[in-house]
A = this chain, B = another copy of it.
Amino acid sequence: MPVTTHIEKHFEASDIVRDVVIGMSDGLTVPFALAAGLSGTVSQTGIVVIAGLAEVAAGSIAMGLGGYLAARTDFDHYCSEREREIRETVELPHKETEEVAEVFRGYGMEDKDIAPVVAAICSNQKRWVDFMMRFELGFEEPNPKRARNSAITIALSYVVGGLVPLAPYMLMSRLLTALSVSVAVTMAALFVFGYVKGKLTGIPPLRGGLQTVVIGGLASAAAFGLAKWIS
């Protein structure tokens, strides 16, 4: 099945890109916004660093494990649906044969043309179940290693992203200097990240870069405003 192989390859590559994007966009944005928000109300960089690193630890673990469970759930769901289809080809072969015909009827084919197609598909149980999974239920076969890889990719991307805005607070003792450097460095990083993400996902890179800068800016402005307002 060259077509299916082709689609799976395409999906795997875009899964890794998606995981890096999920982890890094939150990693760059949330610790940045939290640090900027706290800078409006506390007086030392120390507390910003502690809160920021605590957030990076919590966020990377929560997102990584969340990604792991999401991928596992997808995989378990696929397996249980597949088992049900296998059972049905044995217990209700007429109903399942009719469902294959139904897919083709949806494409406006005549019953006389459908018969040989259905016979060919249903002559082999694996092929029959593959067909039902993909064409009736719309499932792609998930990669069983995906859950673990997804968790690691998301968590690491979150940590890498999160260290960018926090580094100035770790290296500088004056809070407002650290805030300014953090804003400059992170805005630049968000732009580069959005630009590359745009290239990879096929949206215009400049638009991609501006979008991520706007998200980071809005999130940190909201955090900053809220923190100022409460304290």
Indicate which residue in B32, B57, B73, B219 contacts A222 across the interface (CB closer than 8 Å).
Answer: B57
Task: Tell me if A136 counts as interface (CB < 8 A to partner B).
Answer: yes
Whether the Cβ atoms of A220 and B58 lie closer than 8 Å is yes
| Chain B residues whose CB sits within 8 angstroms of the CB of A215 once the complex forms | 61-62, 65-66, 69
Partner of A26, one of B37, B66, B137: B66
Contact with B along A200-231 (1 / 0, CB 8 A): 01110000000100111011101111110011
A62 contact set on B, CB distance < 8 A? 25-26, 29-30, 33, 215-216, 219
Report if A51 contacts B (CB, 8 A).
yes
A3 touches B54 (CB 8 A): no
| Total copies of the chain | 2
CB-contacts of A54-75 with B (<8 A):
54-55, 57-59, 61-63, 65-66, 69, 73
30 pairs, CB–CB < 8 Å, chain A vs chain B: A1-B107, A2-B102, A2-B106, A4-B106, A10-B138, A25-B62, A29-B62, A29-B66, A30-B30, A30-B58, A32-B58, A33-B58, A33-B62, A37-B57, A38-B54, A47-B47, A49-B230, A50-B230, A54-B224, A57-B222, A57-B225, A62-B219, A65-B215, A73-B203, A77-B201, A107-B120, A109-B120, A110-B120, A117-B117, A135-B135
Q: Footprint of B on A, CB under 8 Å?
A: 1-4, 7, 10-11, 22, 25-26, 29-30, 32-34, 37-38, 41-42, 46-47, 49-51, 53-55, 57-59, 61-63, 65-66, 69, 73, 76-77, 80, 102-104, 106-110, 113-114, 116-117, 120-121, 123-124, 127, 130-131, 134-138, 140, 201-203, 211, 214-216, 218-220, 222-227, 230-231
B34 touches A51 (CB 8 A): yes
Report, nearest first, the 8 A-B pairs whose CB atoms are least far apart: A33-B58, A37-B54, A113-B116, A29-B62, A58-B223, A54-B223, A1-B106, A109-B120
Residues of the B chain whose Cβ atoms lie less than 8 Å from the Cβ of A123: 108
| CA A4 to CA B103, docked complex, whole Å | 9
